[in-house]
Amino acid sequence: MKAIYKKLMLLLLIGGMIGCDDDAFLTEKPKTFYTTDNIFSSGEQVDQVVVSMYSRLRRFKFVNAQMQGIGTDVLDAPEFRISSAFSDYTRINSESSQFRNVYDFYYELIALANTALQAASDPGITFESDQSRNYILAQSRFFRAYAHGMLGELFGGVPIVTELATVPRYDFVRSTRAETYQFAIDELEAILNDLPETTTQSGRIVRGAAQHYLSEFYLALGTETNDVAAFDQSIKFASDVIDGGVFSLMQERFGTRKDEENTVTGGADVWWDLFRMGNQNYADGNMESIFTLQVDFDAYIAEDGEAFLNYPRYFSPVYRAIEGFDGVDEYAGGRGVAFYAPSPLVKDIIWEEDISRGDNRNAEHNISRIIYYNDPSFPELFGKVVPQEVIDATNQGSGWLFPIFFKLTTDQFIGRDQGQDNSNIFRDKYVVRLPETILLRAEAYLRKGETQMAADDINLIRARAQCEVMASADQVDIDYILDERARELFVEESRWHTLLRMGGTVAVDRIREYALNPQAKATLTFDYNLWPIPQTTIDRNKDMVMEQNPGWAR
């Protein structure tokens, strides 16, 4: 930078000495202009834009705290990290960067999709085949639909953007929430025949992913409009996935470690296998995997510094705070610094005996609650179980001790000989797994009043989990489904999207009841069912009034 600065100053000096008598001297004659009209010449180049959409979504899903569920009924920052909590509503408003970051991300994804669509529609671009071109178009429209649908769930009606802006615009108009959902639905329905049922290139969009989101957005549309026909369509598209013969729940142990047990706790089952490295993709033999984001250790070391999941660091407790416990290894869940902590709902309430007796998702090898002293300098304690009163005393005022969720960490860290410190794992991340599709269908049945059908769907998942207590028709309501989603999809689902698309006061009611930190209950003194439109977006849109969502006055 210093060298560039010196050269720039030298050029300015020379320019001053020569003078400006000849206006031609100031006339720029660029040799090349790059625009979307001339930068692409082949389908492979357009596909790189598509690849960048996968990459952007991966980074967003991996690092954005709100996408993990912070501030909801399932997750927040522990007490000692209260400054990073998303639950003090005296500090949350329409100018908060958390809302702006999410809003901007989805529109950046839309811009990339529109770039790829414009380029791929150019007749001068050469593709390997019509099928290749159609698949690139279909993936691009998928991401455009996905982004609009996600915006609708969080922010309500938003501007629908289908073209690249070539000049600054200040006159965007919000659609209604129903119109936003309908746009996403129309896009997804249009591309179904151009998406493959399966693909050997793990991570690429398949038809089941589009059908899943059709089910979700029809469900959201029906919830918004109270239209039974929308619920029927939600059930139809979910059934296409559930009963279509391509996907199925994994019922038996499988994958890279099917003959092994958790080396920390002992024990293992098919649920544990779902989250072991190398088991996340359909091509790996995982028949319930619909859409994943790709992680690869070798690529991470070689060139892709984002191909990792920082779950052990962010989601694991700080067991080393206990006097007599030493280490940041598998027995501690990794090098945990507890940026996030489970709420009472996820930690205890959903696992109560009368609901979850026998549920293997709560088995010790899946959620480890027992801590053993392991510091040899405390021989009188070594190997013994840490008593609950010691855990409570160590936790007092900090909240950094909680169970280890082995779906978010591993018992076999890799890369320590290459500089890794047990902060990360290197397995692929689910975006959509079949149980979520099943729970969408259950919710659609419930909203139609078909509670037995809803219970039957929930019991597909509970039977796989070996629950001794099955759901009954008279038990099933929205809270029951949300609890089941927490048991099955903790950190997998984007909990904010789930809660806010429910409408009404579902989100705020559950936050008030189950929030980890007391300030959420103390400061959440108003109701809302949408996030605020970022104030910067409203202010920039000077040529058209953009209304703020209720409850979020500046």
DSSP label at 84?
G
Query: Sorting pLDDT into bands at 50, 70 and 90, what band is 41?
Result: confident
Helix, strand, or coil (residue 289): strand
pLDDT at site 165: 85
pLDDT at site 439: 99
For residue 2, the number of C-alpha atoms closer than 13 Å in the C-beta half-sphere is: 0
Tokens of 338: 């507890």
Work out the percent of the chain whose per-residue pLDDT is above 70.
Answer: 93
Quick one: three-class SS letters along 376-444?
Answer: CCCCCCCCCECCHHHHHHHHCCCCCCCCEEHHHCCCCCCCHHHCCCCCCECCCEEEEEHHHHHHHHHHH
pLDDT at site 101: 97
pLDDT at site 28: 45
Classify the phi-psi angles of 352: left when phi > 0, otherwise alpha if psi is within -120 to 50, otherwise beta. beta
Does the pLDDT at position 465 exceed 90?
A: yes
pLDDT at site 38: 56
Query: Sorting pLDDT into bands at 50, 70 and 90, what band is 14?
Result: very low
* 266-305 pLDDT tens trace: 999 999 999 999 999 999 999 999 999 999 999 899 877 8
Query: Sorting pLDDT into bands at 50, 70 and 90, what band is 21?
Result: very low
Tokens of 202: 């793990």
pLDDT at site 306: 87
**Statement: the pTM of the whole predicted model exceeds 0.85:** yes
Residue-wise burial string across 93-129, b where 16 or more C-beta atoms lie within 10 A, e elsewhere: ebebebbbebbebbbebbebbbbbbbbbeeeebebee
Residue range 57-63: mean pLDDT, rounded: 95
pLDDT at site 15: 36
The letter for the amino acid at 250 is: M
Does the pLDDT at position 143 exceed 90?
A: yes
The candidate with the shortest Cα–Cα distance to 176, out of 159, 198, 199, 194, is 159
Average pLDDT, the chain: 92
pLDDT at site 405: 98
Tokens of 384: 């013994």
For residues 125 and 533, give the distance between their C-alpha atoms in angstroms, rounded to a whole number: 38
Range in 6-20, 227-241, 409-423, 459-473 with the lowest mean pLDDT: 6-20
pLDDT at site 83: 86
* Cα–Cα distance list, 168 to 183, 307, 541, 542 (Å): 24, 34, 10, 12
Angle between helices 207-225 and 177-191 (to 10 degrees): 160
pLDDT at site 46: 94
* 209-250 pLDDT tens trace: 999 999 999 999 999 999 999 999 999 999 999 999 999 999
Domains and CATH numbers, the chain: 1-84+94-194+501-554 (1.25.40.390)
Does the pLDDT at position 32 exceed 80?
A: no
Residue range 440-460: mean pLDDT, rounded: 98
Tokens of 402: 């909680």
pLDDT at site 554: 57
